[in-house]
Amino acid sequence: MTASSATPRDRVPTPVREAGWPAGLAEFALACLAVAGVCLQAWLWGEYTGDDINTLGPVARHSLMGTIAYYIRPLEYFVVEGANRVWLPLWLVASGLAAVGAAWIHVRSAELVVGRRLDRTVRFAIIVGSPLWFYTVSQIDTVSESLCNLAFAAALRCLVCILFAPQQRDRERWFIALNVLASLLLYTKELAIGAACVLPAIGLWLYLRANRRGIAYAASALLFALSLAGWVALKIAFRSQMPEAADHYNLSPSLLDIARNTVATLAFGVTPLPTSLLSMSRLSLVWTACGALSALIALWAGSRLDWRSPAVRWLGLAMLGTWAPMFYVHASELYATMFGTLLVAILIVELRLPKPAALTYCAALLACSYLNAVVYYQGERRLPPEIGRVPYSVYFGPNGQSFVKPAGALACPIARTATVSVDCALLVCQDASGAVLQTFQPHGWRCTGGAGKR
């Protein structure tokens, strides 16, 4: 019986028993080293720009409510606040660890889904094989994306264990953990709302169908209900990042937009070409064609799963609910980082790529992350003008919009900025010696009574 035709009862943990903690931690550490070069590029070449004020401003004022009023991302605030008290660039370490951890969990989940354990070398290659690493560590306000990816991967792992390993003795714990992780997921990033609602809803349905009754599970379900109610209340109270008729969160895109967003979002994580080609007028069509082909191949690989299995169908529903807000709003490399590794793993396994081909493919994906960083940070200086640079941003994907840094916006180098503070209405970047590198007046800040605030 092949992996793709196995029934849910055939897919028990025995044939995919994972290696012990020492081997798993070694694998994770090596993956972190492979991605560390991308973090190093961001540290050496990156700078804090205008949009980062939304994250840095509340941290400089030590105001949790400041971040809730604009984003509802308290977990990001606590990470950046902790880094700012020690050495601000530590947020890069946190982002890298969370992003790699999410990829590591996704590969383990994929092994359960396909019903087989991967070759150790191929598994490691899939963990590091992503063209999207750069986007999760490029800016300080993408700490939220890395935390979102980690919480989502862990929650999805719980659901996969429930669906594909039904004979586990500790199944009750997976149900409880799913609700707890979904509660955390709500407060990582606004577009996680689909996953944060769909995953525990499926878990609840499966729990009730199994005729289970437990106080611990009921408490976890209540925790999630209260977390969701709190999230909705904060959203209404502050109207933070609400859907819009246009611009960043497009409320009503056309069917053409939805189709384009769907293909682009699927393609971002599996296309062995750097997405920075979209910023070059003469090469953007090359990436678009390759991306469309890659998305079709990924869909074909997914179609080879055993869709007669209820477990696969439930997983498909969970993923569709997770992706729906991204398809409906706009395409972005940031959103694709949530599930890119899972798609790569399923593609390699279900298409039965030979080991050399799988390793080459993953190496190309990793190389794309490094190239994206070079183009993003060094493109204006290193690329010839005749290549035809066009406005493009990680914020808006291929929809033709771009984020333009306003004149006079904050531009503190990441490597030299050890801390940020606020002096009256000025956000101040300081180096390790305390010297001021840059000041910037954020929107809406006012100095009252001439007294400085720190």
> Phi and psi at residue 282, in whole multiples of 5°?
-85, -10
Can you give the pLDDT at residue 173? 92
CA angle (240 as vertex; 93, 444 as ends), nearest 5: 90
Residue count of the chain = 454
CA angle (236 as vertex; 232, 239 as ends), nearest 5: 120
| Structure tokens that stand for 60 in this block | 């400089």
Q: Which residue has the higher pLDDT, 269 or 165?
A: 269
Cβ-based neighbours of 400, under 8 Å, separated by 6 or more: none
Torsion on CA atoms 214, 216, 219, 220, rounded to nearest 10? -110
How many Å apart are CA 119 and CA 251, to the nearest integer? Answer: 44
* 406-437 tens-digit pLDDT: 545 667 899 999 999 887 767 888 898 888 87
111 contacts 118 by C-beta, under 8 angstroms = yes
> Phi and psi at residue 393, in whole multiples of 5°?
-150, 150
Q: Supply the mean pLDDT for the chain.
A: 84
Can you give the pLDDT at residue 257? 78
Q: How much is the average pLDDT of 233-240? A: 85
- Beta bridge mates, 419: 430
* 212-234 tens-digit pLDDT: 788 999 999 999 999 999 999 99
pTM for the model stands at 0.89
| Structure tokens that stand for 433 in this block | 């010696």
Decide the pairing of beta strands 436-440 and 426-430. antiparallel
Can you give the pLDDT at residue 26? 86
pLDDT above 80 for 448: no
pLDDT tier, 210 (very low <50, low <70, confident <90, very high otherwise): confident
* 283-330 tens-digit pLDDT: 888 999 999 999 999 999 999 999 999 999 999 999 998 888 777 777
* 7-45 tens-digit pLDDT: 443 443 344 455 566 777 888 999 999 999 999 999 999
Q: Whose structure tokens read 């992350």?
A: 369
Can you give the pLDDT at residue 439? 64
Torsion on CA atoms 290, 291, 295, 301, rounded to nearest 10? 50
Q: How many helices (H) and strands (E) does the chain have?
A: 17, 5
pLDDT above 80 for 99: yes
Helix 74-86 with 53-60: angle, nearest 10 deg: 60
Can you give the pLDDT at residue 75? 96
